[in-house]
Amino acid sequence: MVSLVDIGPSVGSVEVRGQSVELNGLTASHIVGILTAFPEVRKILAQREADLQMLISQFPLAVAMIIAAGTGKEGDDATIKVAMTLGVGEQYEILSKLMELTFPKGVKSFLDGVNAALDSAGVRGWDQATKSPAQSSQTSEQDEASETAGTQLPDNSLRGAN
């Protein structure tokens, strides 16, 4: 029987500018670090409303940090800086390979498994717990106004007197 030590990390490579860049699948520690550092990214993954301006401002650094972690240089400022200067197409190629290495059966399969495990443990799924409750479909009927405001005279006033 094979042990985890025999299997080792999930490794692959992608070609960038004619050079082969070695990549490792991200660990739970990497993912938690990214989600902790970038709350707007976390909100999007949890299907919650996020501040779009904040998300856009955080996204380039988040991508660079993911790439750095995938190259084994998590937190290395020089690697993060280079990752930020890559063209978006190059970043996409690296991210695509990282997704394949990190989630070999796909992200949806992973999230479905996590939700199933939480459900079987009697824990409310993170997807449900992060959504606002549905708005009530019942609304109260509007009261009928008896008269337009300001047209009802006080009982002790005389009509026509100013």
Asked if residue 122 belongs to a domain, the reply is no
Block means of pLDDT (10 residues each) for the chain, 162 residues, are 80 94 93 86 74 85 95 95 96 94 84 78 58 56 56 61 53
Residue 44 lies in a domain: yes
Q: What's the pTM? A: 0.65
Structural domain includes residue 120: no
Q: How far apart are CA 88 and CA 18, in angstroms?
A: 16
Backbone angles phi, psi at 11, to 5 degrees: -120, 145
Query: CB neighbours of 104 closer than 8 A, spacing ≥ 6?
Result: 10, 25
In this structure, is residue 145 part of a structural domain? Answer: no
pLDDT for position 107:
78
Does residue 80 form part of some domain?
yes
Number of domains in the chain: 1
**Residue 114 included in any domain:** no
Q: Is residue 138 domain-resident?
A: no
User: Within 10 A of 30 (CB to CB), how many other CB atoms are there?
Assistant: 19
Residue 41 domain boundaries: 9-104
- Would you say residue 72 lies in a domain? yes
